C-alpha cells in the first residue's frame, strides 16, 4: 500500500509541470480534520498522510456550463475515498488505496474508475520494509522506512480516482460544507527491486498517458485497463530514511535525507538483496 508520500511542490510549480489550466486550490473546501492541517493545504508537505487535503489534478467541465470544454484543474481533495452512497465520511480512512487489478470491478471504485480519474502529484512515496533479521525490544521485526522517487528527478504522477460525497445534513447545495471531495491512490505490484521493500507500489503514469487518464470522455474499459498495466521497471530510486517519518506529526525536508549506513540494522538493499547493518 501507499500510506505516506511527499508533496513538496507549490501550486505554481504543479500548474506548470502538469499543464494545468485552472488552479482552484484557493477555493473553499470541506475538511474532515478536527484540527487545522499542518502544514496548511497547498503548501509543501513532506509527510502527506491520509485524511489530509492534497493537491490533485483532474479534468472537469465548469459547473453550470455543460456546453463548455473540460479544463484541467488543480484542486485540494481529501485523501481517503468516500463513495457517493456512503452514509458518512468515515469509510474514507479505509480507502486510501485501490488495487489496479480490481479497481474496474469493485463497486466502491468502478464508477470513479470509468469517469472520475485523477493524478496525484508527488515527489515520491514512503514505504516500510520489514527486516528479516533485526527485531525491536518487543521481539517484533524492525520496520525501516524507505523513500522512493523517480530517478530522472521528475515528479511522480500517481494514478488516482476521486469522488463527491453530499452531506444530507447541509441544506444549501452551494455551501462548500455540503460537499466532500476525496481521492484514492491506485497501487500495483511492486517492480523488481522495490519488491524487496514492499510488495505494492503506487501506479505512476508517464507524461504521455496523462491526457488519456484524465479524459472524462474515456469510458472504454479496455482502454482504461491498458493504462492500469504495470510499467517498465527501472524508473525509480529508493533509499532508507529516518524513522521520524513514521509519526504524522513529523514534517520538513529533513525527512528525505538518506539514513547513514551506520544507523541501519538488518536492512535489505533493494537493488542487491544484501543485508546491511547488524541485527542488533
Model confidence at 94: pLDDT above 90? no
Torsion sign across C-alpha atoms 169, 173, 178, 180:
positive
Tell me the pLDDT of the chain averaged across its residues.
Answer: 94
pLDDT band per the 50, 70, 90 thresholds, residue 90? confident
Task: Report the DSSP beta bridge partners of residue 98.
Answer: 186
Number of domains into which the chain is organized: 1
Residue 186's nearest CA partner among 206, 215, 160, 223 is: 160
Residue 230's nearest CA partner among 97, 96, 98, 100 is: 100
CATH of the domain at 16: 3.90.1680.10
pLDDT digits (tens, 9 = 90+) for 186-230: 999 999 999 999 999 999 999 999 999 999 999 999 999 999 999
- What's residue 65's pLDDT? 67
Model confidence at 66: pLDDT above 80? no
- What's residue 88's pLDDT? 87
Catalytic annotation, residues = 2, 127
For the segment 219-246, the average pLDDT, to the nearest whole number, is 96
Give the residue carrying C-alpha cell 520489514. Answer: 130
What is the rounded distance in angstroms from the CA atom of residue 191 to the CA atom of residue 232?
A: 8
What is the rounded distance in angstroms from the CA atom of residue 263 to the CA atom of residue 248?
A: 22
- Residue 51's domain comprises 4-276
pLDDT digits (tens, 9 = 90+) for 7-35: 999 999 999 999 999 999 999 999 999 99
Model confidence at 258: pLDDT above 80? yes
- What's residue 280's pLDDT? 60
Q: What's phi and psi for 61, nearest 5 deg?
A: -80, 135
Strands, E assignment, 171-256: 179-189, 200-202, 236-240
Amino acid at each position: 500500500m501507499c500510506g505516506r508520500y511527499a508533496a513538496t511542490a507549490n501550486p505554481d510549480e504543479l500548474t506548470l509541470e502538469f499543464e494545468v489550466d485552472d488552479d482552484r486550490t484557493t477555493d473553499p473546501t470541506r475538511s474532515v480534520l478536527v484540527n487545522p492541517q499542518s502544514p496548511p493545504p497547498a503548501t509543501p508537505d513532506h509527510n502527506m498522510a491520509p485524511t489530509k487535503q492534497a493537491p490533485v489534478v483532474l479534468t472537469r467541465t465548469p459547473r453550470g456550463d455543460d456546453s463548455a470544454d473540460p479544463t484541467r484543474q488543480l484542486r485540494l481533495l481529501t485523501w481517503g475515498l468516500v463513495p457517493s452512497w456512503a452514509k458518512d465520511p468515515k469509510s474514507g480512512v479505509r480507502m486510501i488505496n485501490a488495487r489496479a487489478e480490481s479497481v474496474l470491478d469493485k463497486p466502491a471504485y468502478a464508477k470513479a474508475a470509468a469517469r472520475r480519474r485523477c493524478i496525484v502529484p508527488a515527489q515520491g512515496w514512503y514505504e516500510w520494509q520489514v527486516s528479516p533479521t533485526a527485531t525491536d525490544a518487543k521481539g517484533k521485526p524492525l520496520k525501516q522506512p524507505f523513500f522512493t522517487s523517480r530517478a530522472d528527478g521528475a515528479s511522480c504522477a500517481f494514478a488516482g480516482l476521486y469522488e463527491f460525497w453530499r452531506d444530507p445534513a447541509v441544506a444549501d447545495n452551494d455551501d462548500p460544507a455540503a460537499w466532500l471531495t476525496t481521492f484514492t491512490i491506485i497501487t500495483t505490484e511492486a517492480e523488481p527491486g522495490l519488491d524487496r521493500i514492499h510488495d505494492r507500489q503506487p501506479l505512476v503514469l508517464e507524461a504521455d498517458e496523462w491526457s488519456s487518464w484524465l479524459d472524462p470522455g474515456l469510458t472504454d474499459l479496455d482502454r482504461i485497463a491498458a493504462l492500469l498495466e504495470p510499467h517498465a521497471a527501472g524508473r525509480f530510486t529508493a533509499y532508507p530514511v529516518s524513522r521520524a517519518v513514521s509519526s504524522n506529526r513529523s514534517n520538513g525536508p529533513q525527512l528525505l535525507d538518506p539514513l547513514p549506513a551506520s544507523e541501519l540494522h538488518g536492512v535489505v538493499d533493494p537493488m542487491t538483496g544484501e543485508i546491511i547493518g547488524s541485527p542488533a
